[in-house]
Structure 1
């Protein structure tokens, strides 16, 4: 049954940095190609990543893969700092800048194109939201909502604009395009990260309060990958048996 199509694909080459919108990519067994494949370890919290929770301004650093996807190695990761400076992954000045701004010692870590551990995204392979649910949340909150606050991988444009319809599909399988299959698993429980405006790093705690009070702290859903393959913006999204 056709339920909609992909409106936007977003991956985050660097965990907690502003992601990149892409027209097409591969879905790997861990999620979108290169999603959260590069990160910074927070030496104040051994074994943990530095995220927007500890340093909200991370949302203002933009990261993208500057090249063609390869299974051998990632394309170069290009980063634009809040000051507008263009640097690349591993740049020592970038590390010093983040350490100075966050008042934390950090260590860069990168995985391979074929394996990104679940800990990088922390919950499941893929997170998705729907356009109808975003529009409804705007109505509930009474303010404009940039869906990127929720850091999803897929924005789905629904054929029937029924808010939160995706929550009725837990346990169901979905086909995207001609190859990819995913299974919807469960709610995405939100945290303070959604209070951070991805455009300027400023916080608005009222959004989280609204999601807690009106949505039982749920917005967006998690999915696991069943079958890998290529996806692109505009691909049909269908419920399958």
Structure 2
């Protein structure tokens, strides 16, 4: 059954930095090609990953791949700072800037396309959201337009039938995207303080999290595991399988 089309494909080459919208990429066993394949490590916290939870200004740094996708090595990763400067993600000037702002000692960790990067991916392979749910949350919050980037989904589905939060009814079922990819919905995404951080200015507004807790039992979006790998494109049809 046709349920919609892929409206946005977003991957995050560096965990907790702003992601990049892409028109096409691959779905690997671990999720989107290169998603959370690089990470900054908080050496002041026994080697835990540095995230927006500890350093909320991370949302203002954008990471992107530069070059062709390869199965041997990931393309070069560039980071664009809030001031618009462009660095290699491991550039010491960039790391020193982030260390100064976060008051933490930072190192880097990198995975490869052949190594499933379980570490930086918190729960499941892929996070999905729908346009109808986003629109409804706008209505429920009633304060400002909700920026989808707060929720950091990999895929945004534009639904044929605009029924908010219907994706939660599909948990346990599979979808087919385009000609190749199959995913299985495995559970709702439980939200944390990260959604309170404005992606543009890194300022916090707890009211949006309070709304999600009150109105949606602290859930927004659904996790999916990869059943069949393949290529994915913006505008691919999404079918719910029997």
TM-score (norm 1): 0.98
Q: Which residues in structure 2 correspond to 1:55-66 (within 5 Å)?
A: 55-66=55-66
- Name the count of aligned residue pairs: 241
Structure 1 position 44, deviation (Å): 2.0
Partner of 2:16: 16
Provide the residue aligned with 2:5 in structure 1. Answer: 5
Q: Secondary structure at the match of 2:114?
A: coil
Larger CA deviation: 115-124 vs 49-58: 115-124
**Counterpart for residue 162 of structure 1:** 163
Give the alignment of 1:91-240 within 5 angstroms.
91-142=91-142, 143-240=144-241
SS in 2 for 1:94: helix
Deviation of the 1:90 alpha carbon: 1.1
Deviations 1:88-124 (A, max 9, x none): 1210111101111000011101000122322211100
Indicate conservation of the 8 Å contact 1:36/1:116, yes or no.
Answer: no
Instruction: Assess if the C-alpha contact under 8 Å between 1:39 and 1:108 holds in 2.
Output: yes
Deviation at 1:49, TM superposition (A): 0.3
How high is the TM-score relative to the length of structure 2? 0.98
- Give the Å deviation of 1:78: 1.2
Cα pair 1:28 1:114 within 8 Å, conserved: no
Partners of 1:7 and 1:70 in 2: how far apart? 25
Three-state SS of the structure 2 residue aligned to 1:101 is helix
Shift of 1:75: 0.8
Distance in 1, Cα, partners of 2:28 & 2:115: 9
After superposition, the C-alpha distances for 1:43-86 in whole angstroms (9 at most, x for unaligned) are 12224100000000000001100111001111111110111111
Match of 2:36 in 1: 36
d(CA) in 1 for partners of 2:179, 2:199: 33
Q: Are the counterparts in 2 of residues 27 and 180 from structure 1 also a CA contact under 8 Å?
A: yes
Q: Which runs of 5+ in 2 are unaligned?
A: none
